[in-house]
Amino acid sequence: MGDILSRLGHLFVQSTPTVIFVFLLLVVLDRLFFRRLTEVLREREARTSGALERAREQEKFRNRVAQESGRETRGRVSVAAGARTSGTKIGGRKAKGREAFNPRLFETSDGFGVIVGRNNKENDYVTHHLSKPEDLWFHASGIPGSHVILRKKGKSPPSRKAIEEAAAIAAYFSKGKTSSAVPVIYAEKKYVHRPRGARPGTATCTREKFLMVRPRKPKPALAS
- Tell me the average pLDDT across 45-62: 61
Name the H helices within 1-88.
Answer: 2-29, 35-67
Backbone angles phi, psi at 84, to 5 degrees: -65, 145
* 15-17-22-23 Cα dihedral, nearest 10 degrees: 110
Question: pLDDT exceeding 70 applies to what percent of the chain?
Answer: 58
Q: What is the pLDDT of residue 92?
A: 37
Closest alpha carbon to 218 in 158, 186, 152, 171: 171
Whether residue 51 has pLDDT greater than 90: no
Cα torsion angle, 78, 190, 139, 159, sign: positive
Q: What is the pLDDT of residue 209?
A: 95
Q: How confident is the model at residue 36 (pLDDT cuts 50, 70, 90)?
A: confident
Q: Do 151 and 133 meet the contact criterion of CB atoms below 8 Å apart?
A: no
State the Cα–Cα distance between residues 15 and 35, nearest whole angstrom: 28
pLDDT digits (tens, 9 = 90+) for 58-98: 555 445 444 433 343 334 455 655 533 333 333 333 434 45
pLDDT digits (tens, 9 = 90+) for 195-223: 888 888 888 999 999 999 999 999 765 54
* pTM score, whole prediction: 0.60
Collapsing DSSP to helix, strand or coil, 121 comes out as helix
Radius of gyration of the CA atoms of the chain, in A? 30
pLDDT digits (tens, 9 = 90+) for 158-178: 999 999 999 999 999 999 999
Q: Where are the domains of the chain?
A: 1-67, 73-86+99-213
